[in-house]
Amino acid sequence: MRLFAIKVKGKYVPVVGEVRDGVLMGKDRLGRPVRMKAKGIVDFGPLKEEFTVSDLAGVDLEELWEVGEELSLDEASELLYGNVDAVSKARIFFSALGSPYFRVDGERLIPRSEEDVQSILKREEAAREEENLREEVRKVLKGEPLPIVEALRAMYRGDREDKRLSRIVAGDPDFWRKFLNAGHITPDDISAEVRALMQENRGDFSGKEFEYEDLRDLPAFSIDDAETEDIDDAITLLPLAEGYEIFVHIALPYAVVERESEADLLARARGSTLYLPDGKWHMYPSDAVRRMSLMEGEDRPALTLRVKMDLSGEILDYSFHLSLIRNRARLTYRNVHEVLSREGIWRDLIHVKNVLRERRIKAGGLAYDHPFLKVKYSEGEITVSLLEPNEATAIVGELMILYNFLAGKHLAERGLLGIFRIQEEPPPGKQPMPSDPLYLLKLKALGRPVRTSVKPGPHRGLGVPYYVRATSPIRRYSDVLNQHQILASLKVLPPLSPEVLERDMGTALAGELKRHKAQNERRTHILLHYIKRKGRVEGIVSGRRKVFVPEILMEVRGRDLPGVGTKAPFRVIRVLMGDGTAILEPE
């Protein structure tokens, strides 16, 4: 029997056999039969004793390379082993195939130049180091706290570049999800994508001149959270003999930042203000926001909706006005009842809210009374608080829906385009009761897809035939575009063409979506750190493997759960930052 090397799919493999009549017959290293023409094979010679084909590589050929000459396999075997036999030649041959020292040409070894050898050795060392690095990364993704974690955290934040680690990360589209799930990030670690959005708008700006109707004598007031800086809206309610005259005043950004100014273009690209637990990054320059905001005691330009309504909530007349107003009182959701009760209009506001809501619900809409979650992170401290819905939040909500409905109606009836929010499918069920422990989840389940269009359509979830967003122009650019079209109806600006409106809508909504995703990511991470620190939470079983945690308004995973609807204390077993959830089990 003889020992050969044959090529299989471009790679040499050893075979033990014989050549008969120009045909090689034998077996490969796995004992499989081989039969092929004896062409292009390397014959190492006869085997002197029984031989099992195995891995023949692994011989260090540096000593042979230092000879500095081209060698035949016989010469190489003689120099290295002091004899010439088939197994020795085969070992040298297969070692040379992967060696940095030689090229193989048939049965001859061609020495490489020293420059080539050093280059190959460096590449091999780098490959070994990278494979060791890959092994470390695999361990990190399983949760091991190795030193490399700090480098990966820095990459996640965008604070460090590392070519080798970047190649490894780029090779796994799911890498960062796995890294986050492994529990390696801290509350201080903000992703590079989110940090890129945490920038001030520093564009230049100046306002546009308008003529205003002086409404500063109206008793306007705002209702907001105590910490709100950008006050978009204020309200005036005047009781009449058979109904009400209602004024909803909305801030007018163009009076401070004119369209197509540098600051306006930056605001359009942003799409919205960025709200994070770590702070706020305004859509407009901070100084412009202060000048737009309907601050208490300050004269401010506004786009005012004036509505005459009877006691049943029927709209008798409405109109939009460029106005100059003065916010008489900056009220909060907690003190508005006391202040307006003294003014004698609290009961009227409650009545207006009730009749507006009743009409929407009768038309198939829903009442969205849900708590608002405030999440803050500063200097290592996480603060979570809930603003429970009350009559004040409901009043503001209904009046803003009224404004947005009438703004949409105003545009549609005048043939002007806007950014309409359309929900063509009605809610698939009945309004849940606020007393239901799973009220928020059930209300969310009633939501149907909403699409945006420059052409009008109904919003069945709200129970209105038209709906645009126009009440938050300081913090959302789509509202600015709708406000522009209303101003065009008042003949103070040219309307935006369909092409321009669709272009600007696409830009603004893309920026808004990017910030919305960033807000959700950062907020979710902080909330998960919050419950991880606590170790236990109160929850309500909301599904076979789901638990709703009212304290953070989140539904997370659970195991070994009792029946749906059960309230119980739960242990936090694990948080999965990459999946945006946690795993709980009953105590």
Domain boundaries, the chain: 2-112, 115-185, 213-523, 535-586
pLDDT band of residue 50 (cuts 50, 70, 90) is confident
Residue 368 has pLDDT above 90, yes or no: no
pLDDT band with cut points at 50, 70 and 90 for residue 54: low
Structural contact between residues 5 and 14, judged by C-beta atoms closer than 8 angstroms: yes
Residue 44: both structure tokens together:
């190492």
Q: State the pLDDT at residue 29.
A: 83
Task: Decide the pairing of beta strands 546-549 and 554-558.
Answer: antiparallel
Query: What integer pLDDT is reported at residue 429 of this predicted model?
Result: 87
**Beta carbons of 402 and 307 less than 8 angstroms apart:** yes
Confidence (pLDDT) at 129: 92
Residues 305-333 have a mean pLDDT of 97
Q: E strands within 225-314?
A: 233-240, 243-251, 274-276, 279-281, 299-310
- Would you put residue 151 in left (φ > 0), alpha (ψ -120 to 50) or beta? alpha
pLDDT of residue 58 exceeding 90: no
Q: Does the pLDDT value for residue 53 go beyond 80? A: no
CA distance linking residue 243 with residue 316, whole number of Å: 10
Give the mean model confidence (pLDDT) for residues 381-389.
94
Local confidence band at 150 (pLDDT 50, 70, 90 cut-offs): very high
User: How far apart (Å, rounded) are the C-alpha atoms in residues 244 and 246?
Assistant: 6
Give domain 535-586's CATH number out of 3.40.50.2020, 2.60.40.10, 2.40.50.140, 3.60.110.10. 2.40.50.140
Residue 1 · residue 17 · CB < 8 Å:
yes
Cα 361 from Cα 352, distance rounded (Å): 14
Is pLDDT of 541 > 70? yes
Q: Which single residue is written with the structure tokens 């979830």?
A: 461
- Work out the average pLDDT over 166-176: 95
Share of the chain above pLDDT 90, in %: 90
| pTM check: above 0.75 | yes
Residue 57 has pLDDT above 80, yes or no: no
CB 425 within 8 A of CB 456: no
| pLDDT band per the 50, 70, 90 thresholds, residue 43 | very high
Structural contact between residues 532 and 505, judged by C-beta atoms closer than 8 angstroms: no
> Could you tell me if 483 and 404 are in contact, meaning their C-beta atoms sit under 8 angstroms apart?
no
pLDDT at position 277, please? 98
The whole-angstrom separation of Cα 205 and Cα 570 is 53
By residue count, the chain amounts to 587
Query: What's the pLDDT at 304?
Result: 98
Tokens of 135: 């092994």
CB 35 within 8 A of CB 74: no
Closest Cα partner for 185 from 582, 575, 464?
Answer: 575
Q: Which residues of 408-424 are buried (b: 16+ CB within 10 A; e: fewer)?
A: bbbbbeeebbbbbbbbe
Structure tokens at 115: 């420059």
Which pLDDT belongs to residue 55? Answer: 64
Question: Can you give the pLDDT at residue 366?
Answer: 93
Higher-confidence position of 97 and 29: 97
pLDDT tens column, 467-508: 999 999 999 999 999 999 999 999 999 999 999 999 999 999
What pLDDT shows up at residue 169? 95
Mean pLDDT of 348-360: 97
Q: What digits encode the pLDDT tens for the residues 418-443?
A: 999 999 998 998 889 888 889 999 99
**Residue 48 pLDDT level (bands cut at 50, 70, 90):** confident
Amino acid at 80: L
Alpha carbons 93 and 109: distance in angstroms, whole number:
8
> 374: pLDDT confidence band, cut at 50, 70 and 90?
very high
522-536 tens-digit pLDDT: 999 999 999 999 999
Alpha-carbon span 504 to 482, nearest angstrom? 11
What is the structure's pLDDT at 463?
96
Of 35-39, 314-318, 515-519, 566-570, the least confident: 35-39
* In contact, 236 and 247? CB cutoff 8 Å: yes
Residue-level pLDDT at 52: 66
Query: How far is CA 182 from each of CA 30, 139, 140, 141, 143, rounded to the nearest angstrom?
Result: 41, 10, 7, 6, 5
Type and span of the H or E element at 96: helix 86-97
Query: For residue 326, is pLDDT > 90?
Result: yes
Which string of DSSP letters, residue by residue, matches 467-533? -B--S-TTTBHHHHHHHHHHHHHTTSSPPPPHHHHHHHHHHHHHHHHHHHHHHHHHHHHHHHHHHHH
- Strand 554-558, strand 274-276: pairing: unpaired
Alpha-carbon distance 519 to 581, whole Å? 16
Is pLDDT above 90 for 98?
Answer: no
pLDDT at 434: 84
**Does residue 105 register a pLDDT over 70?**
yes
Nearest alpha-carbon partner for 194 in 386, 377, 372: 377
Contact 102, 112 (CB under 8 A): yes
Question: In which residue are the tokens 């780098």 written?
Answer: 126
Q: How far apart are CA 22 and CA 18, in angstroms?
A: 10
Q: Label residue 322 by pLDDT band (50, 70, 90).
A: very high
Mean pLDDT estimate for the chain = 95
Q: Please give the full DSSP string across 98-154, using - where no structure is assigned.
A: T-SSEEEETTEEEEPPHHHHHHHHHHHHHHHHHHHHHHHHHHHHTT---THHHHHHH
